[in-house]
Structure 1
Amino acid sequence: MPDVENMPLLNRGRNAVRRVGSVWTGFRDFILRDNVLEIAIGLIIASSFTSVVNSLVADIILPPISLLTNQNFGENFLVLRHGQNATAHYNTFQQAQDDGAITWNYGNFLEKLIQFFILGVTLYTLGQIYQLLSRDVVIKYQIKCPVCRKDISASAKRCPFCTSWQDGSNMSNHE
């Protein structure tokens, strides 16, 4: 470590500029790598896609269900313990929360479960369509290795874990 106190002010400034320049170069090299940009774009698209699916569930699918049950589907709850006003009847989750009651919000959970299911089915369908149009494998099917029971690619000729041949033969037949 150089003695900073005895170093001329001009040299200290050059060293600081050099260090900042190397940090900037490293950051630029990291951020402009293909996979970082692809991940960033993918996350932005995934966030937008998730908000569309959440809107589909909350604004299109659940209102007809709420008509059938005569109450807002996401507002279904059970009171586990009353709040300060022990004799109160809560019409909404907000009323129960304001009174300090402990509730079991099963309607909100079921709403999130429906959103998760629809998002999963939609992503699977998009993967199948992409695979059909591009001939690029997106959904990789797996099997269990008969020897070590680890999950491996269905198209694997050898297990990457135990190196056994998947066609049941031994190694001498493949040389």
Structure 2
Amino acid sequence: MLNEFKTFIMRGNVVDLAVGIIIGAAFTAIVNSLVNDIIMPPIGFILGGVDFTNFFLTIKGEALPTLEETKKAGSVVIAYGAFLNAVIQFLIIAFAVFLLVKGINRMRDMAIKQQQSDPGPPPPLPADVVLLTEIRDLLKAR
């Protein structure tokens, strides 16, 4: 069973998946910072100094000025501002993945076209055809 597990883990696609997950986690941190620290502040400023993370609806309990304070007070809230941030992050990640896949597809298509336009040397003739050609040439030479 241990050998089977080692074989499974060392397959190329499992290792590739692990690398993809690690890079995805790092990419998510970058996108989170991009949305929370770069994109949302100007949008909030344009909308009059609004902080989207503090958009929430109190269902039960006391509504305080910030989401964090309201949650600490034990109130039940729907944090739709945080959800809005998550949707924006998703759209950015989805767009980045779209661009990546589009670039890979373009490179693959270029490689296929290059292979089609450059067929390389012709395949060698079979031995019997070569022999018959030599016999023909010798008979012509006589």
Q: Structure 2 unaligned runs (5+)?
A: 111-142
Deviation string 1:29-57 (CA, Å, 9 cap, x unpaired) is 22111111111111112222222222211
Give the alignment's Cα RMSD to 1 decimal. 1.8
The number of residue pairs the alignment matches comes to: 109
Alignment correspondent of 1:64: 42
CA contact (8 A) 2:53 2:67 kept: no
| Displacement over 4 Å in runs of 4+ | none
Structure showing greater radius of gyration is 2
Q: Which whole-Å CA distance do the structure 2 matches of 1:100 and 1:32 have between them?
A: 48
Deviations 1:148-172 (A, max 9, x none): xxxxxxxxxxxxxxxxxxxxxxxxx
Listed as ranges, the gaps of 5+ residues in structure 1 are 1-22, 84-88, 137-175
Listed as ranges, the matches of 1:18-167 within 5 Å are: 23-68=1-46, 69-83=48-62, 90-135=64-109
SS of residue matched to 2:4? helix
Separation in 1, partners of 2:15, 2:72: 45
The aligned runs of 1:8-23 (5 Å cut-off) are 23=1
Q: Could you say which structure has the greater relative contact order, defined with CA pairs below 8 angstroms and 6 or more residues apart?
A: 2
Q: Deviations over 1:94-137 (max 9, x none)?
A: 2211222222211011010111111111111111112112328x
Separation of aligned partners in 1, 2:36 and 2:89: 8
Give deviations 1:44-77, integer Å, cap 9, x for gaps: 1222222222221111101111222313211111
**Taking every aligned residue pair, what percent have the same amino acid on both sides?**
34
The structure where helix makes up a greater share of residues is 2
Q: What SS does structure 1 have at the residue aligned with 2:50?
A: coil
For the structure 1 residues 78 and 135, does the alpha-carbon distance in structure 2 shift closer, same or farther, using more than 3 Å as the test? Answer: same
**If the length of structure 1 is used for normalisation, what is the TM-score?**
0.56
